[in-house]
Amino acid sequence: MHVHFLDPYKPRPSLIHAFDPRVKLVLALAFILAVALTPIGAWPVYVLLFAVIVSVVMLSELGVGYVLKRSALALPFVLAAVPILFTAQGVPLLAVPVGPWTLTITVEGLQRFITILLKSWLSIQMAIVLAASTPFPQLLVAMRAVRMPRLIVAVVGLMWRYLFVMVDEVLRLLRARTARSGDPGLPGARVGGSLAWRARVTGGMAGNLLVRSFDRGERIYAAMAARGYDGEVRTFALPPIPTGQRLILGIGLAVLLLLVMLGYLV
């Protein structure tokens, strides 16, 4: 079976991989919800949540380094929360002069920023474990099994599958550009023209990709509609969740609930 290089699924003979995808999906969503509900500044609870995710990563045999390296992708998006450092009211901690203005970092703003950083980091780690331990078709089936709206599941499924089609189109365009760019073979010589020429070529490629995407999308939808597609993911009847996994599901939900309650107590 061909596996695309963008596919995050990593097959492993682990306990997490063997779990029913419905159990993994519910526990992952519950973990992310618990992280979101944990109050600001409940540092002991965040340490416990991090211990939970590290335990799950070790059980999945994906490797802590693998998950931590990919979870760093969430850090640039946290920069959107930087204004909280200066806008939150509270005890002044540090004054930063910026031209004629002085921005003051408060203790409460720093706490909120660190909390947002931790929440994003922990949540994306759980999402990475879920995606890396569950094939995407099984995730779609699990979404419908837990009664997620059919439209959302259809949009997620088509978006994911069409992503690979767009990547292949981009690779074709890049190969075509390389084939049409003469290489003088001289030391220090640059393939292609000026910066403006490169920008014009890149813009043309982006427009070509957009036109191709619309055309490919219409043809794919027409082919799917001709085969009776109505937005529903149809599979064979799912087997019942084993009793042991039901017990683990209940224990996991209870532990997450206790952690959230502990966060409000501390």
Looking at every residue in the chain, the average pLDDT score rounds to 85
How much is the pTM? 0.81
Q: How far apart are CA 172 and CA 252, in angstroms?
A: 46
Q: Are 176 and 55 in contact (CB under 8 A)?
A: no
Check residue 16 and give its pLDDT: 93
Higher pLDDT among residues 198 and 246, named by residue = 246
Q: How far apart are CA 49 and CA 99, in angstroms?
A: 41
Beta strands in the chain (DSSP E): 92-98, 101-106
215-229 average pLDDT score:
84
Q: Are 11 and 233 in contact (CB under 8 A)?
A: no
- In the DSSP assignment, the letter for residue 38 is S
Q: Are 71 and 125 in contact (CB under 8 A)?
A: yes
Give long-range contacts, CB 8 A cutoff, 24+ apart: 169-172. 169/209, 169/212, 169/213, 169/216, 170/209
- Of 241, 36, 195, the C-alpha closest to 126 is 36
| Radius of gyration, alpha carbons of the chain | 24
Q: What is the Cα 143 distance to its own chain's centre? A: 16
Q: How far apart are CA 205 and CA 145, in angstroms?
A: 41
pLDDT in tens, 27-69: 999 999 999 999 998 999 999 999 999 999 999 999 888 898 8
HEC letters along 91-130: CEEEEEEECCEEEEEEHHHHHHHHHHHHHHHHHHHHHHHH
Split at pLDDT 50, 70, 90, the class of 94 is confident
Q: Are 111 and 40 in contact (CB under 8 A)?
A: yes
Q: How far apart are CA 120 and CA 81, in angstroms?
A: 11
pLDDT in tens, 145-201: 888 888 888 888 888 878 877 888 888 888 887 777 655 555 665 666 677 877 887
Q: How far apart are CA 239 and CA 80, in angstroms?
A: 44
224-247 average pLDDT score:
84
- Beta-bridged to residue 95, according to DSSP, are 104
Residues of the chain by 3-state class (helix, strand, coil), percent to 5: 70, 5, 25
H or E element at residue 136: helix 136-145
Check residue 191 and give its pLDDT: 62
- Of 238, 63, 228, 62, the C-alpha closest to 138 is 238
Least confident of 78-87, 123-132, 210-219, 227-236: 227-236
pLDDT in tens, 109-159: 889 999 999 999 999 999 999 999 999 889 988 998 888 888 888 888 888
The answer, yes or no, to whether residue 246 has pLDDT greater than 60, is yes
